[in-house]
Amino acid sequence: MGAKEIIQEGKTALGIEFGSTRIKAVLTDEKGHVLATGFHDWENRLIDDIWTYTMEDIHGGLRNCYSSLVSNIKEQYGIVPETYGALGISAMMHGILAFDKDGRLLSPFETWRNSNTEQAADALTKDFQFNIPLRWTIAHIYQMVLEDRSFVKDFSFVTTLDSFIHWELTGCKVTGIGDAAGIFPIDSEKLDYDEEMVGKFDALIKSKGYPWTLRDILPKVLLAGQEAGRLTEAGAKLLDETGTLKAGVPMCPPEGDAGTGMVATNSVAPGTGNISAGTSTFAMLVLQQDKRLSKLYREIDMVTTPDGFPVAMSHANNGTSDLNAWVNLFKEFSELMGYSVDMGELYGKLYTNSLKGDKDCGGLLPYGYFSGEGITHLNEGRPLFARTPNSKFTLANFMRSHLYTSLGAVKLGLDILLKDEKVPVKSITGHGGLFKTKGVAQNYLAAAVNAPVTVMDTASEGGPWGEALLALYMLRGKDAGTLGDFLAKEIFADQSGTTVEPDPQDVEGFETFTKHYKEGIAVERSAVEAMKW
């Protein structure tokens, strides 16, 4: 059966992921091979000191992304799809969307980038003896409680972006366990919110007299492989304005971008790890079911795979945003000089040229902190570039330093896991836009972790492809075995990729850069204090 017939008969899986700067749709066949893609670029807004997207941004972005997918299918195959075998929604994790009983949004959507929850996160971490990062949904909930926000009493459903979209498409208030692990701590044995901590939270807010308990307002936790509802008539119209798409498509649990990244890199089994490098950068190492870290670290999140294995995560709020801004500046300069440049070629040339730089970046020190950074204990950020008078200020070193620093904060967390906790790792896979230029960021990541790093040929498909695979896994049912078995045997058995070993000189150079990075945090902190305009 050809691709056209496969699409017409609905023998497909569709994953749609809301990333920080792009919404992307990936359509696959029943073997996970990509048939078509769709895109919509968007950007968060800073409104009243809150990083947010409006409802118009969300709904318009969803429709435009789907329309782009349909256009791509029509262009390639001459048809317009009416249905799919399965559908899944994923998105950047954390933050808060709070609704009342009538489905009315009570407060602007606060994304993961917001760090206005320090008081709540610190208090909950102390009470739970479990790290609660500032961006987690429960930190946002409790901060609103502490601030006596008038609408808190009206909470009926409080959730994350992917779970919200799924609710709109299906009417079901659920989320996948990987996404749920960024809402509230998970018990990896019971595969649900940690009941003891739920009780502690309800006790904390009891005196407020709210008409709800925590479980009343949070989405139900589901595992990979479970059906999470079906596309309703209203959901189909929301997704497809033309009315061509039919209701009834089965939907898998919505997931966060951490979970889909694990799936897209075949990193869901204990001993595997992956690093996603984009607007934010995060590294995840999958632990054994009964494995715990020796103590609480504020720099490390404990989350889960989409099927519930515990995962130690080093999450950096800031990744490639500042790096991208510099590349755009070089594009502007090129155009000023009368040269029109292709962005892909520009990135490739700048990245590749960085390989000529000094191993330690020649003493250059940038921080791409557009927002606060939990790993380095900063609640606000200021993009910053610093150097000493005797530094080697070359284009190669400049680009190399910005590539290094996009991994800088996440490396500090990984050092805790790999050096202090000695977490065993069989393989590490990199994915995300940072790795599109072959042999550059992959080499730098191998140096940062001092371990082999693999980048799959499918790495550029990323999270939406991972969500499509989760939709396929749901379709397979019990015959597919574990999620790890399904991925290893049915999806990645014939996938190719490139593995690089760490270069000892690169490792030494990255360690020197990291030393400077740690010492320079004081400069970044001073910039936050001084630059208030």
Q: What is the mean pLDDT of the chain?
A: 95
**How does pLDDT run across 381-418, given as a tens digit for each residue?**
999 999 999 999 999 999 999 999 999 999 999 999 99
Residue with tokens 């300069």: 333
Nearest to 41 by CA among 32, 27, 33, 53: 53
The domains found in the chain, sorted by start residue, are: 3-76+87-255 (3.30.420.40), 258-318+410-500 (3.30.420.40), 321-402+504-530 (no CATH)
**Distances from the Cα of 311 to the Cα of 14, 137, 182, 292, 451, angstroms:** 26, 18, 11, 10, 19
**pLDDT value at residue 497:** 84
Distance of CA 308 to the CA centre of its chain: 17
Cα Dmax for the chain: 67
Whether residue 239 contacts residue 441, with contact meaning beta carbons closer than 8 Å, is answered with: no
Please report which confidence band the pLDDT of residue 329 belongs to, taking 50, 70 and 90 as the band edges.
very high
**pLDDT value at residue 29:** 96
Residue type, 291: K
**Proportion of the chain above pLDDT 90, given as a percent:** 87
**How does pLDDT run across 142-152, given as a tens digit for each residue?**
999 999 999 99
Rounded mean pLDDT of 74-78? 97
Q: What is the pTM of this model?
A: 0.85
Q: Worst-scoring range by mean pLDDT, 95-109, 397-411, 414-428, 514-528?
A: 414-428
**pLDDT value at residue 460:** 61
Q: Worst-scoring range by mean pLDDT, 289-293, 452-456, 516-520?
A: 289-293
- Phi-psi sector, 123: left (phi>0), alpha (psi -120 to 50), beta: alpha
Cα 42 to Cα 53: distance, rounded to the nearest angstrom: 9
3-state helix, strand, coil in the chain (%, to 5): 45, 20, 40
Phi and psi, residue 27, nearest 5°: -105, 130
Helices (H) and strands (E) in the chain, counts: 18, 22
**Distances from the Cα of 345 to the Cα of 68, 186, 525, angstroms:** 24, 44, 35
Whether residue 284 contacts residue 301, with contact meaning beta carbons closer than 8 Å, is answered with: no
